[in-house]
Amino acid sequence: AHGDIGDREMAWEVHRLARLGVIAKQDLDSSLLELKALVKEGKVEVFSQGGDGALRYQGRLCVPCVDGLREKILEEAHNSSYSLHPGSTKMYRDLRDVYWWGGMKKDIAKFVSDCHSCQQVKAEHQRPGGLTQDIEIPTWKWEEINMDFVVGLPKTRKGFDSI
């Protein structure tokens, strides 16, 4: 339990400066402005607005989609000396305690998959493919079916990495 408290304090310290920028820029995002209005009218319960004026989703700071702010937060969380290039799951778990935006999990997965350093290290720890083997020529059609899979390719726009 003590480690969890320390991790959370570290996460807050690492993201302290970014939080300040997030609050100031929330009013530049039209969708967050609409949500703030709905919160004031009492029409939304999962969002709240604190004394600092910040819009929060279930207690987490809403990050506006302006000035590359989300990307800056991802870079800070992934490349800081505190984090040492975490994978997408760890990075999401760390950031979700502090921040929220629509599609956050997908954005984090894409960011990590595009990290050149992570891909180089990942390749070193993967097992090499097996040796190719000759297959027998079948005596009757559809008697036997063989398939080859190529995996670990760069991801397509739809997220596929194999053929």
Q: Measured between alpha carbons, how far is 163 from 154 in angstroms, rounded to an integer?
A: 11
| Mean predicted confidence (pLDDT) in 131-159 | 82
Query: How high is the pLDDT of residue 39?
Result: 94
> Does 14 score more than 50 pLDDT?
no
Q: Which pLDDT score is estimated for 106?
A: 96
With respect to residue 109, please indicate whether it lies within any of the assigned structural domains: yes
- For residues 154 and 113, what is the distance between their CA atoms, to the nearest angstrom? 9
Question: Residue 83 sits in a domain of what CATH number?
Answer: 1.10.340.70
The answer to whether residue 156 sits within a structural domain is no
Tell whether 149 is covered by a domain.
no
- The answer as to whether 30 is a domain residue is yes
Cα separation, 113 vs 57, in Å, equals: 27
Does 159 reside within a domain?
no
85: Cα within 13 Å, side-chain hemisphere: 11
In percent, the amount of the chain with pLDDT more than 90 equals: 37
Note whether residue 161 is domain-resident. no
Assign 19 a pLDDT band (cuts: 50, 70, 90): low
The mean pLDDT value of the chain amounts to 82
Q: Which residues span the domain enclosing 28?
A: 2-117
**34 vs 81, which has greater pLDDT?**
34
State how many domains the chain has: 1
Q: What is the pLDDT of residue 124?
A: 57
Q: Is the pLDDT of residue 5 over 60?
A: no
CB burial string 130-150: b at 16+ within 10 A, e below: eeeeeeeeeeeeeeeeeeeee
